[in-house]
Amino acid sequence: MMPLPERWLSAAFLRYNGRMILIDCGEGTQIPIKLCGWGFKNIDCILFTHYHADHIAGLPGLLLTMSNSGRVEPLTLIGPPGIKRIVEGLLVVCPAFPFDLMLGELSLKKEDAFKINDLIIRSIPADHNMPCISFGVELLRKGKFDADRAGKLGLPVKYWKVLQSGENVEYNGIVYKPDMVLGEPRRGIKICYCTDTRPFRGIAEFVNEADLFVCEGMYGDTDSEDSAVRKKHMTFAEAANIAQNGNVREMWLTHFSPMLVAPEESLAMAANIFPNTVVGKDLMKKTLVYA
């Protein structure tokens, strides 16, 4: 809810093939981005879970930093309904940029999905005290190329790579499609980000088999369940139950209460339910690869 000397506000940065997506933009987000050394020009999209200040107040500063970095390409901002009014209000203090802002709204009644480059972004309405969304980001993986099948088609080798990349090929008046030389799609990579919400119907299915599940843990102990229910947040144990029921591979806890000054001391509350739980820290990074 507020930045602390050793704890920045909410933001998660995803990078793939040099392109980047930012989820949430708390106050001062441009500083840890700079500390990561990843730069600003290649951010394709900023996703917002909701519009409480600790998740969006860093937007004006970040946009100014991106302007100073020489960015001219349009930037996409996506979140729950109302994003136009929110962004217009924030930009009163920085009204001019050398790039356009493209705004998009997501449904609060059903799951949504859209594509950014090679990434599939999925969203699901969460249960907070204002409109809020949880996100899933998936990098799909094509089936394995079958050289024997390609050879039997009589298609010259120079076209194989085109089919492997997912494009059709026309040769001698015949159209060849990728599924003619590719096996069944293989398991890709999946990341889910869920914060500022109570556990809700469908969340375990939404995060199912995620390689990394970043989830809020506002309260460390079960004695705080009443506060979690009232303020629409989660305890460590509730987050761990979602991770276990969703069969995720790893969970990072984040978004701790300012009163929870040493969240690692409560780790057992989650790890006893879902052992592969990590207490999130600023600038924590992980590289995910195909299994």
pLDDT digits (tens, 9 = 90+) for 55-99: 999 999 999 999 988 899 999 999 999 999 999 999 999 888 899
Domain with CATH 3.60.15.10 in the chain: 1-105, 109-142+185-285
Residue 45 clears pLDDT 90, i.e. is over it: yes
Ramachandran sector of residue 39 (left: φ over 0; alpha: ψ -120 to 50; beta: rest): left
CA angle 198, 32, 248 (to 5 degrees): 40
Cβ within 8 Å of residue 285, ≥6 positions away: 36
Residues in the chain: 291
Catalytic residues: 54
Give the alpha-carbon dihedral of 149, 153, 156, 159, to 10 degrees.
-70
Question: Any idea which residue has 């843990």 for tokens?
Answer: 217
What pLDDT is attached to residue 79? 97
Helix (H/G/I), strand (E/B), else coil: 180: helix
Q: Which residue has the higher pLDDT, 243 or 5?
A: 243
What pLDDT is attached to residue 154? 85
**DSSP bridge pairs for 19:** 16
Asked if 29 and 47 touch (Cβ cutoff 8 Å), the reply is no
DSSP H or E segment with residue 216? strand 212-216
In angstroms, rounded to a whole number, what is the distance separating the alpha carbons of residues 240 and 245?
9
pTM of the model: 0.90
Q: Which CATH class is domain 109-142+185-285?
A: alpha beta
Model confidence over 179-238: pLDDT tens digits? Answer: 888 888 888 999 999 999 999 999 999 999 999 999 999 999 888 899 999 999 999 999
In angstroms, rounded to a whole number, what is the distance separating the alpha carbons of residues 55 and 10?
6
Helix (H/G/I), strand (E/B), else coil: 190: strand
In angstroms, rounded to a whole number, what is the distance separating the alpha carbons of residues 42 and 15?
9
Q: Which CATH class is domain 1-105?
A: alpha beta
